[in-house]
Amino acid sequence: MKYLKNILKRTPQNSPLWGAAQVQNSAGGYSFTVTGWTRLNRFLILGSEGGSYYATEAKLTRENAKAVEACILEDGLRVVKTIVEISDAGRAPKNDPALFALAMCAAYGDEATRKAAFQALPKVARIGTHLFHFAEYVDGMRGWGRGLRSAVGAWYSQKESIALANQVTKYVQRDGWSHRDLLRLAHVKTDDTARNALYKLVVDGWEDLPESEPEDEALRLMWATERLKRATSEAEAAQIVAEYRLPMEVVPSGLRGKKVWEAVLPHAGLTFLIRNLGNLSKSGILQEGAWNEIREVTNRLADANALKKARIHPIQVLSALCTYQSGHGARGGGEWKVVPQIVDALNVAFYRAFGNVAPTELRWVLGLDVSGSMGGGTIAGIPGLTPRLGSMAMAMVNYRVERDSQIVAFSDEMVPVRLSKTQSLEEAIHQTNQIPFGRTDCALPMLWAMKNRVEADVFVIYTDSETWYGDIHPVQALREYRQKMGVPAKLVVVGMVSNGFTIADPQDGGMMDVVGFDTSAPNIIGEFALGNV
């Protein structure tokens, strides 16, 4: 009997748990599988861009498409609802997976699902570029029937004229699609003269540019943009940009000098600002001692409400931080002198972009999987942002707000991490980069806590769940921990790769899966730890 008990309590990770629905993961070990719905969330938030350690981008995209399709067959309306929820709240770093999944709903859903997908289009495709991506995805999946054409038409006709003029000037074409193509395809018509003039301008452009500005606000924007295109000096361009508050996107690239950057800055959107901090430094606007400009930019980066409103995702901030801090652009974008206040402001903005994360006053062990596979692939296609580095950034969100919280790292052994709560993201990430790669044993954080008598209410493990090396499964280690320590500890698995695996037992109510870099993840983890969800 004792022998049998031991087998049931301690199973090596290269064998499945007895009586549990486990599958072999890509590393050869045995993990649980997440439900199709968790996988849908993982795809919508993490995407498949950049692939993973185990799968190329194409393979990961195919797998995810299959998972999305299965969800559509099970409950298409729920898929559309999930897409809208995640996309509209800005919970994902990139919108492409949402657009791709929405195109799938529009192509493969039943009638009600297709209808819901069409209706959701303006909510998910919020800017011109999104609409072009959607058009390209859906074009590869189905024909341009009446429902689809009128959905695209509604994208245009539902917008206020000034908003539409903004979109068509700022985002002209992408993926081989232009507004001209889509307006023609959708046969957008109206009795409103000014509106018709706007559509006609989008399709045909200006024949003769009038000397004086049009009365109508939207036509005036079109007119000013055209004048800008014909500008012959930077001074002229800067004057037009300032007067009509035009975005940098509509300025011809040869005219984007310091004067134009100065003219754009006061009315630039937050997304643009965050992406162009390096350019602002390069052009000499954000430089040491330029107190007013530095203050203007840092104030905007610190504004939690504005971050939320502009749907600034922490990953965008992190990506901007890595680029800005490096002092040079990613693809030969020139060099600049780094202004420390901007770096500090980005550190603050990263945490604020998660919204208000409330402390739980529980005891936390945050376990980072730093094994070899976590160093492969990227999160949401951000160059250089591996799941390993992303895990550290994610763990810092929780670590900073909780009083009793410790970060540990593991591969096939525990790796010491020494971080203070006030250390910057860059320092934290730098430390992670120094850790050598190893094999994977996701049971280690629980075994470590048991051995060292560390009391923990919650273990959070940031991983791809490709565990294989240990002689006991993570869930068995957790159960042993609960029993020996007399603490009903919970386990949260933060999935850092959009694969189908998890180390959490779906049958155990004390274990949960969340998706790494879901902006709502820190609060969901907290609520779960407190027993509220």
Bridge partners (DSSP) of residue 463 are 495
Please report the sign of the dihedral spanned by the C-alpha atoms of residue 489, residue 494, residue 500, residue 503: negative
Q: Which is nearer to Ca ion, 347 or 373 (CB)?
A: 373
The distance of closest approach from Cβ of residue 463 to Ca ion in the complex, given in angstroms and rounded to an integer, is 8
The distance of closest approach from Cβ of residue 438 to Ca ion in the complex, given in angstroms and rounded to an integer, is 8
Q: Which is nearer to Ca ion, 440 or 499 (CB)?
A: 440
Closest CA to 437 of 378, 388, 394, 470: 388
The distance of closest approach from Cβ of residue 440 to Ca ion in the complex, given in angstroms and rounded to an integer, is 3
Binding site for Ca ion (CB under 5 A): 371, 373, 440, 466
Query: Would you state the structure tokens that stand for residue 96, as one six-digit string?
Result: 């492409």
Q: Which helix (H) or strand (E) holds 210?
A: none
The distance of closest approach from Cβ of residue 92 to Ca ion in the complex, given in angstroms and rounded to an integer, is 24
The distance of closest approach from Cβ of residue 384 to Ca ion in the complex, given in angstroms and rounded to an integer, is 19
Amino acid identity, residue 71? Answer: C
Q: Which helix (H) or strand (E) holds 368?
A: strand 363-369
Q: Which is nearer to Ca ion, 49 or 466 (CB)?
A: 466
d(CA 63, CA 61): 5
E-strand ranges in 231-350 read none
Contact (Cβ atoms closer than 8 angstroms) between residue 474 and residue 490: no
Q: Which is nearer to Ca ion, 338 or 461 (CB)?
A: 461
Q: Which is nearer to Ca ion, 24 or 173 (CB)?
A: 24
Q: Which is nearer to Ca ion, 122 or 438 (CB)?
A: 438
Helix axes 128-139, 179-186, angle to 10 degrees: 60
Contact (Cβ atoms closer than 8 angstroms) between residue 54 and residue 27: yes
Q: Which is nearer to Ca ion, 325 or 463 (CB)?
A: 463
Q: Which is nearer to Ca ion, 96 or 466 (CB)?
A: 466
Q: What angle do CA 131, 267, 332 make, to 5 degrees?
A: 70
The distance of closest approach from Cβ of residue 373 to Ca ion in the complex, given in angstroms and rounded to an integer, is 3
The 3-state secondary structure of 157-175 reads HCCCHHHHHHHHHHCCEEC
The distance of closest approach from Cβ of residue 410 to Ca ion in the complex, given in angstroms and rounded to an integer, is 10
Amino acid identity, residue 46? Answer: L
Q: Which is nearer to Ca ion, 167 or 371 (CB)?
A: 371
Q: Which is nearer to Ca ion, 214 or 372 (CB)?
A: 372
Please report the sign of the dihedral spanned by the C-alpha atoms of residue 498, residue 499, residue 504, residue 508: positive
The distance of closest approach from Cβ of residue 259 to Ca ion in the complex, given in angstroms and rounded to an integer, is 51
The distance of closest approach from Cβ of residue 443 to Ca ion in the complex, given in angstroms and rounded to an integer, is 13
d(CA 524, CA 494): 11
The distance of closest approach from Cβ of residue 371 to Ca ion in the complex, given in angstroms and rounded to an integer, is 3
DSSP for residue 177? E
Please report the sign of the dihedral spanned by the C-alpha atoms of residue 524, residue 525, residue 531, residue 533: positive
Long-range contacts of 80-87 (CB under 8 A, 24+ apart): 80/105, 80/109, 80/113, 80/116, 80/117, 80/120, 81/116, 82/37, 82/40, 82/41, 82/44, 83/44, 83/120, 83/124, 84/120, 84/123, 84/124, 86/41, 86/44, 86/45, 86/518, 87/44, 87/123, 87/124
